[in-house]
Amino acid sequence: MQLGIRRIGAFALLAGSLLAITGYAQENPAPPVSPEKQCVLDWLSRPEVVEKFGKISDAIWSYAELGLQEYRSSELLIKTLEAEGFTVEKGLAGMPTCFVASYGSGKPVVGILAEYDALPMLSQKARTPKQEPLVAGAPGHGCGHNLMGTAVSAAAIAVKEAMEQHQIKGTIKVFGSPAEEILISRPHMVRAGLFEGVDVVINNHTSSGFTTSYGVNGSAVYSVVYTFTGKTAHSAGGPWDGRSALDAVELMNVATNYLREHLHFTHRMHYVITDGGEAPNVVPDRASVWYFLRNTDERLEEMYERVLNCAKGAALATGTELSEVRVIGAIHQAHENKGLAELLYQNIQLVGMPQWTEDEHQFAKALQKELGKAEKGMPTEVGKLGKPAVVYTGGPSSDHGDVTLVAPTATLRFPGGVPGTAGHHWSTVACGFGSSASKGLNAGAKVMAATAVELMTQPESLEKTRKEFEEYSKAHPYKSFLPPDNEPPLDIYEDLMGRFRPAMEKHYVNP
Ligand SMILES: [Zn+2]
């Protein structure tokens, strides 16, 4: 875009004022900051805004609701967005806790993905640097999703402020996405058409660093429960009359563990036995095992078939029936857009790492000591822009992979955690609450909002990401891995959440 001299002058002035606000190093000058971008940064820097969203994040942390049970968490975000004039559609794609909040109208349409679900078994006291559950056995926010849904809401509201003050045309949409931890919602949201007409999507995750990347990453997944049905009998009196469904589960697991040798090294495979009978003296006539099968997009379906054969073989061997193969979720790898990642990265450099207090460093060091990690405290510098891996070696997954194949998408990783802590672990729960978490989510919100207004006000930036995406899509057309009639598993955490909710309610921190 050609800029008039007067406009450049205004940019330079604003860039100067931002240097003063953020303390951004003089020798590494920030790129010019447009008035629209400055508007979102200023709004998010207001102390009352930082405080408000910190409290919302802490509240969601205390609710720690499991996938598809996030009633309070989603309601809090919905109320926050509605109070700012967003129009919210609720209960979408067959999931009561799924929502889309929109502000503005017409093109361009910029989406941001919001998550808010917790993980089982990770309850932990806030900012306590050793393992100490708040409610023993209860869920906890071991992946920082309390910060993410909150950061996205803050970012979207900041964009709304800029849209009002600078007459920016377009639509900002928050995609309230349940049950990311069990990889459920996005394929259903895509299938329901929620991303139709969306030009570009910003995804995000908490991290102990501040960075982004592009290219293919993570694993595609089939999450499947295999259920076997046999016959009960007295385990001592007449075991020959029984057919043990648990035997079938165990034989299936033996077969899949032998299968590992002959799967490509890109795979990951792990399981839990969710039903193994009730008592040793009754031959179990029903047993279930829940698998995550992970691989590349290209190798996933073949792996699914081979594991299914292990289940069939186990049923044949034990004289039981493989009575149900229930696909809980099925997702693609993430295919992150380079143009969008570069835009995010420029804004990461602009916003910079938050300034941490001595207390925050001390807490981080205490946690690092407990974990046997280097006692470095909080991170002080932003990371490098991640490049695609040369040899892919598998790893964790995110169900936003499906979104990356229907709209140009990239993922911001913003600082909310302490370096050295582990994901899906009590240490992440311990540091996901309070001042450093709040500062981290605020920095993340700034980058997302700045990137969104840039995409809305600079057509060439949006065009670049769209062009790259359309080119990429030719070789990677989207086809869901979900079976055609698959429904979201609304019941999956109903009992577990119900069991812990009353004890957890006593510890709710309301905003
Ligand atoms: Zn996560």
Q: How far is the CA of 180 from the centre of ligand 1 (A)?
A: 7
Amino acid identity of residue 117, one-letter, is: D
Answer yes or no: is pLDDT of 426 > 70.
Answer: yes
As a whole number, mean pLDDT of residues 389-406 equals 85
Q: How far is the CA of 166 from the centre of ligand 1 (A)?
A: 34
Q: How far is the CA of 289 from the centre of ligand 1 (A)?
A: 23
Q: How far is the CA of 205 from the centre of ligand 1 (A)?
A: 6
* 360 and 479 share one domain: yes
Q: How far is the CA of 169 from the centre of ligand 1 (A)?
A: 32
Q: What is the pLDDT of residue 80?
A: 98
Examine residue 402 and state whether it is found in any structural domain, yes or no.
Answer: yes
Digit-coded pLDDT (tens) for 257-311: 999 999 999 999 999 999 999 999 999 999 999 999 999 999 999 999 999 999 9
Answer yes or no: is pLDDT of 35 > 50.
Answer: yes
Predicted confidence band at 54 (pLDDT cuts at 50, 70, 90)? very high
As a whole number, mean pLDDT of residues 452-479 equals 97
Q: Which domain holds residue 311?
A: 220-331
Of the residues 282, 298, 331, which one is the last residue of a structural domain? 331
Examine residue 339 and state whether it is found in any structural domain, yes or no.
Answer: yes
Examine residue 27 and state whether it is found in any structural domain, yes or no.
Answer: no
Amino acid identity of residue 54, one-letter, is: G
Instruction: Please give the DSSP secondary-structure letter assigned to residue 4.
Output: -
Q: Are 434 and 126 in contact (CB under 8 A)?
A: yes
Q: Which two tokens mark 373?
A: 């990690």
More confident residue, 457 or 394: 457
Predicted confidence band at 212 (pLDDT cuts at 50, 70, 90)? very high
Answer yes or no: is pLDDT of 18 > 90.
Answer: no
Of the residues 297, 331, 365, which one is the last residue of a structural domain? 331
Examine residue 76 and state whether it is found in any structural domain, yes or no.
Answer: yes
* 471 and 355 share one domain: yes
* 150 and 234 share one domain: no
Answer yes or no: is pLDDT of 502 > 80.
Answer: yes
Predicted confidence band at 390 (pLDDT cuts at 50, 70, 90)? low
* 342 and 325 share one domain: no
Q: How far is the CA of 243 from the centre of ligand 1 (A)?
A: 40
Q: How far is the CA of 122 from the centre of ligand 1 (A)?
A: 14
What value does the mean pLDDT of the chain take?
Answer: 93
Instruction: Please give the DSSP secondary-structure letter assigned to residue 16.
Output: H
3-state secondary structure string, 472-510?
A: HHHHCCCCCCCCCCCCCCCCCCHHHHHHHHHHHHCCCCC
As a whole number, mean pLDDT of residues 150-178 equals 98
* 185 and 226 share one domain: no
Q: What is the pLDDT of residue 4?
A: 34
Q: Which of these, 213, 333, 314, 205, lies nearest to 268 by C-alpha position?
A: 333
Q: What is the pLDDT of residue 30?
A: 53
* 487 and 390 share one domain: yes
Q: How far is the CA of 142 from the centre of ligand 1 (A)?
A: 8
Q: Which residues contact 153 (CB under 8 A, 6 or more apart)?
A: 53, 56, 77, 80, 81, 101, 114, 174
Examine residue 73 and state whether it is found in any structural domain, yes or no.
Answer: yes
Amino acid identity of residue 379, one-letter, is: P
Q: How far is the CA of 34 from the centre of ligand 1 (A)?
A: 32
Residue 191: strand, helix, or coil: helix
Q: How far is the CA of 392 from the centre of ligand 1 (A)?
A: 20
As a whole number, mean pLDDT of residues 207-224 equals 95
Q: What is the pLDDT of residue 198?
A: 98
Q: How far is the CA of 208 from the centre of ligand 1 (A)?
A: 13
Examine residue 455 and state whether it is found in any structural domain, yes or no.
Answer: yes
Examine residue 270 and state whether it is found in any structural domain, yes or no.
Answer: yes
Predicted confidence band at 24 (pLDDT cuts at 50, 70, 90)? very low
Q: What is the pLDDT of residue 281?
A: 97
Digit-coded pLDDT (tens) for 305-350: 999 999 999 999 999 999 999 999 999 999 999 999 999 999 999 9
Q: Which two tokens mark 435?
A: 């001042």
Q: Are 122 and 500 in contact (CB under 8 A)?
A: no
Answer yes or no: is pLDDT of 8 > 60.
Answer: no
Digit-coded pLDDT (tens) for 58-95: 999 999 999 999 999 999 999 999 999 999 999 999 99
Q: How far is the CA of 333 from the centre of ligand 1 (A)?
A: 14
Q: How far is the CA of 421 from the centre of ligand 1 (A)?
A: 14
Answer yes or no: is pLDDT of 3 > 60.
Answer: no
Q: Which residues contact 157 (CB under 8 A, 6 or more apart)?
A: 80, 81, 84, 86
* 211 and 254 share one domain: no
* 224 and 200 share one domain: no
Q: How far is the CA of 415 from the centre of ligand 1 (A)?
A: 13
Give the CATH number, domain containing residue 118.
3.40.630.10
* 74 and 204 share one domain: yes
Q: How far is the CA of 426 from the centre of ligand 1 (A)?
A: 14
Query: What percentage of the chain reaches a pLDDT higher than 70?
Result: 93
Give the CATH number, domain containing residue 256.
3.30.70.360
* 347 and 320 share one domain: no
Candidate from 16-25, 140-149, 479-488 with smallest mean pLDDT: 16-25
* 160 and 134 share one domain: yes
Examine residue 421 and state whether it is found in any structural domain, yes or no.
Answer: yes
* Number of compact structural domains in the chain: 2
Q: How far is the CA of 181 from the centre of ligand 1 (A)?
A: 6
Of the residues 331, 356, 372, which one is the last residue of a structural domain? 331
Q: Which residues contact 47 (CB under 8 A, 6 or more apart)?
A: none
Q: How far is the CA of 276 from the centre of ligand 1 (A)?
A: 29
Q: How far is the CA of 431 from the centre of ligand 1 (A)?
A: 15
Q: What is the pLDDT of residue 262?
A: 97
Q: Are 172 and 158 in contact (CB under 8 A)?
A: no
* 366 and 403 share one domain: yes
Q: How far is the CA of 94 from the centre of ligand 1 (A)?
A: 22
Q: How far is the CA of 481 from the centre of ligand 1 (A)?
A: 21
